[in-house]
Structure 1
Amino acid sequence: MTTKDWAAWHEAYENPASDLTFRLREVQAAISAWLDSRPDPALRVVSICAGEGRDLLGVLSTRSDATRVAARLIELDPRNAAVARTRAAAAGLSGVEVAETDAGLYTAYKGAVPADLIILVGVLGNMTEPDALATIAALPSLCTPGATVLWTRGRQHHDPTPKLRAAFTAAGFAEQSYLAPQHSVFSFGVHRLEAQPRPLPAEGRMFTFLDPADRPHGSEELLRRRPG
């Protein structure tokens, strides 16, 4: 069974015309807009399967108010986790913690939730559809009242996002925005929790991140070059 090299996967960011780079810019813009909309003196952020943390760290490293953010980046790959730690330290982001652990386990979130912002980027396409729906249903246990969730999902072979958007509604979230660009293969949603949060389960698994050999069609692994 082939195992994806998740460190080498980040090389697509070096191509300014790649879907991955385009997606990164959209996510970073949403993070910046969210921070601008929240004047709170202290905010909690959790990034699920954070990789090198380029989205959140790239934003915080440019902001003078970054010290009000306490963040946990959860990433299982030790190489990606090491890069994220180095980036955070270089930017002086002392409020950022990188947890090298399985983000599918509820125990990975102890001490970091409830959070005001959940970053779920490049994750839902790397699990089965039942796990994706179950993960969305479980998100209120990670959230503060009114928390925001940023999520993406690829549309390479089919468009699963109608089911995902319906699942967010069923879980008590209101859609703030949704982007599905014709020239790209990803979708990007922003949802706000309107229902009451739930307690974090003491144990158990929210999802299993799949090996490429087992990953369903339409996954986020392949983000092809944008035309033009």
Structure 2
Amino acid sequence: MDWRAWHDQYDLADSSLARRLKVVQQQVGAALDGCPPGPLRVVSLCAGQGRDLLEVLDGHPRRADVRARLVELDERNTALASAAVRAAGLDQVEVLTGDAALIDQYRGMVPADVVLVCGLFGNITDEDIRRTIAFCPQLTRTGGTVIWTRHRSAPDRVPLICDWFERSGFERHWLSRPDAGFGVGVHRFTAEPQPLAAGESMFTFVGHGLLKQRGSGAG
């Protein structure tokens, strides 16, 4: 998969990804609106070009309060994200080229007020979805928000993902309609953050296409 070209679908107004991006951005804005006064921290796993967050921060009243770290492996995408950061003057946003699965990438930025797990759950196995969710209490402060996405093609794992979050100390705050053509979920963390487990990997990024070929049920 060419992950740089994949992002071009965001620029097609009628595409499912463009519609999903709009919803994610609305939820990011709402999450920032609901945060307490003072400094805020945001982390984004497999951040791509950073559109989920950067296009919201650019005009958001809380932009000066937000420190953020975007972690993405594809250096072409991080180059574009870095250019967007510079263009918007978002000096407090760090774009890191690296493996987003490694928990140590988030050291010093967690527990965060907002954790973005967008574009990931459709590209990893069910086992790794559950494992990643189990790490979210290390990434999220009490009262913080995780915003996540997952396609709703068969087998629809959105109900199971909700259950896994809710078993991990999160409460469901918002979920897109089943007929939206995509899944976007918002969960709030109600428990106490867990210490960061140094050296751990949360998932292996397989890719949607390969998962379908394997018939693993996670694609």
- TM-score of the superposed pair, with normalisation by structure 2: 0.94
Superposition deviation, residue 121 in structure 1: 0.7
What corresponds to 2:67 in structure 1?
70
Q: Matched residues, percent identical?
A: 44
> Does structure 2 conserve the Cα–Cα contact (< 8 Å) formed by 1:154 and 1:218?
no
CA RMSD, aligned part only? 1.3
Cα distance per residue 1:167-212 (max 9 Å; x no partner)? 001100000011134151x111100001111001111211011145
Query: Amino acid of the residue matched to residue 93 of structure 2?
Result: V
What are the residue-to-residue correspondences of 1:181-196 with 2, within 5 Å?
Answer: 181-184=178-181, 186-196=182-192
Between the aligned partners of 2:62 and 2:134, the Cα distance in structure 1 is 32
For this pair of structures, how many residues does the alignment match? 215
Q: Classify 1:129/1:92 alpha carbon distance in 2 versus 1 (closer, same or farther; 3 Å).
A: same
Q: Which residue of 2 aligns with 1:225?
A: none
- Which of the numbers 30, 44, 47 marks the counterpart of 1:47? 44
The runs of at least 4 aligned residues of structure 1 exceeding 4 Å deviation read none
Aligned mate of 2:175, from 172, 175, 178: 178
Partner of 2:79 in structure 1? 82
TM-score normalised by the chain length of structure 1: 0.90
CA distance in 2, matches of 1:175, 1:157: 22
Following superposition, the deviation at residue 53 of structure 1 comes to 0.4
Counterpart CA distance in 1 for 2:209 and 2:65 is 41
Find the counterpart in structure 2 of residue 94 from structure 1.
91
Unaligned residue ranges in structure 2 (runs of 5+): none
1:30 is aligned to: 27
Question: Using the alignment, how far apart are the partners of 1:64 and 1:33 within structure 2?
Answer: 12
| 2:194 equivalent in structure 1 | 198
Cα distance in 1 for residues equivalent to 2:164 and 2:88: 37
Aligned to 1:169: 166
